[in-house]
């Protein structure tokens, strides 16, 4: 999997033509500083977003390339990735400063505004006479990083999700899951899901319909059962008992491997985002989230 993202393998054939022309995928990450957002992005996209230093493609990227600018502004990095003749323009939008203030009551607001302004930009282009060159910067998925406290969602998390869930595909992740025991992770997941349910928050979930083949149905079930994904990211390599080097985190009692499905949910998250559900996330953004925003906006304008 080294250096290979895998989006070109996703199975949906009916979009072959648009895929050939190339497509955009925009992923936003939100969570307090220090929860491992940049580390996870680097781990997810291997060297594709932040290329390795010349002549060294096995070591982690340099700090300068990895670091996102600090502050409260919303920043974006893009990379063109070509795989099997398929071109993907991947943009990662980071939100440094989110949740770091003393009072975070309004922390959701700049992020909602950013997502809506991308809808507005798209809408403005749709209304132009020449619509052949529409640039699509709409956010297709938002990874919301939950602090591994073990105590369920905090008020800030709930407020954020309640304000954003009708505008973006929300994917909650438990950050730095290696700081909890497997039992704590299970209990924490149950509490988070109960909170999400209680507050009527809609999160993105793979769902099957009767057109799906049995394999897809079981893949969807397996992925859905992991939500909220408990993830571990690392830019370090560790040596496994059999001598192979893999991404992971070293502890006195052993290693946690990033890409081991028994150790954390990183692989399931990557599978969903980049292989099995990339197209569905784009569709959901376009057909459902954007459409409802557009309708509300036009009604408000009296059209
Ligand atoms: P960001 O501010 O959310 O972008 O966080 P960073 O990716 O910069 O990570 C902050 C610190 O947490 C760094 O020292 C990382 O090495 C460490 N870190 C990142 N991911 C993990 C993880 O999954 N587990 C643990 N234990 N530490 C992590």
Bond into 217 cis (ω within 30) = no
Identify the top-confidence range among 46-50, 76-80, 255-259: 255-259
Distance CA 143, CA 15 (A): 25
Across the chain, mean pLDDT equals 84
- Res 66: pLDDT: 34
Is the separation of the CB atoms in 235 and 39 below 8 Å?
yes
Which tokens go with 237?
A: 């390599």
The phi-psi region of residue 302 (left if phi > 0; otherwise alpha if psi is between -120 and 50; otherwise beta) is left
Cβ count near 293 (within 10 Å): 19
Task: Report CA(40)–ligand 1 centroid distance (Å).
Answer: 8
Q: pLDDT band at residue 7, thresholds of 50, 70 and 90?
A: low
Atom 19 of ligand 1, nearest CA residue: 36
Distance CA 229, CA 227 (A): 5
- Res 19: pLDDT: 59
Average pLDDT of the segment spanning 126-143? 88
36 Cβ below 6 A of ligand 1: yes
34 Cβ below 6 A of ligand 1: yes
Above 50 in pLDDT, residue 81?
A: yes
Distance CA 68, CA 209 (A): 40
- Res 268: pLDDT: 94
Percentage above 70 pLDDT, the chain: 83
Above 90 in pLDDT, residue 86?
A: no
Task: Report CA(61)–ligand 1 centroid distance (Å).
Answer: 14
Task: Report CA(290)–ligand 1 centroid distance (Å).
Answer: 32
Above 90 in pLDDT, residue 275?
A: no
Best mutation site among 28, 29, 31, 36 for ligand 1, i.e. most ligand atoms within 8 A of its Cβ?
Answer: 36
Distance CA 297, CA 303 (A): 9
The closest alpha carbon to 147, from 169, 171, 179, belongs to 179
Above 90 in pLDDT, residue 48?
A: no
Task: Report CA(7)–ligand 1 centroid distance (Å).
Answer: 25
The closest alpha carbon to 33, from 101, 114, 108, belongs to 101
């Amino acid at each position: 999997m080294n250096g290979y993202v895998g989006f070109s393998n996703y199975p949906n054939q009916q979009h072959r033509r648009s895929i050939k022309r190339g497509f955009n995928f925009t992923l936003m990450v939100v969570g307090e500083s220090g929860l491992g957002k940049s580390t996870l992005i680097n781990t997810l996209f291997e060297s594709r977003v932040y290329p390795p230093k010349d002549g060294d493609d096995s070591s982690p990227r340099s700090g300068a390339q990895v670091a996102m600018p600090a502050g409260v502004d919303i920043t974006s990095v893009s990379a063109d990735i070509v795989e099997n003749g398929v071109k993907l323009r991947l943009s990662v939008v980071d939100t440094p400063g989110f949740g770091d203030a003393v009072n975070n009551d309004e922390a959701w607001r700049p992020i909602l505004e950013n997502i809506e302004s991308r809808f507005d930009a798209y809408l403005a282009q749709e209304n132009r006479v020449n619509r052949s060159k529409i640039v699509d910067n709409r956010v297709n998925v938002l990874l919301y990083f939950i602090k591994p406290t073990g105590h369920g969602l905090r008020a800030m998390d709930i407020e954020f999700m309640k304000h954003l869930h009708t505008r973006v595909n929300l994917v909650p992740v438990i950050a730095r899951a290696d700081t909890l025991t497997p039992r704590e992770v299970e209990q924490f997941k149950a509490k988070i899901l109960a909170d999400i349910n209680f507050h009527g928050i809609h999160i993105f979930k793979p769902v099957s319909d009767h057109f799906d083949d049995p394999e897809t149905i079981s893949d969807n079930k397996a992925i859905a059962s992991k939500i909220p994904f408990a993830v571990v990211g690392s830019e370090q390599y560790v040596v496994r008992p059999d001598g192979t080097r893999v991404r992971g985190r070293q502890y006195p009692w052993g290693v946690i491997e990033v890409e081991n499905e028994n150790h954390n949910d990183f692989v399931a998250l990557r599978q969903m985002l980049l292989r099995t559900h990339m197209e569905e996330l784009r569709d959901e953004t376009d057909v459902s989230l954007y459409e409802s925003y557009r309708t509300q906006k036009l009604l408000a304008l009296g059209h």
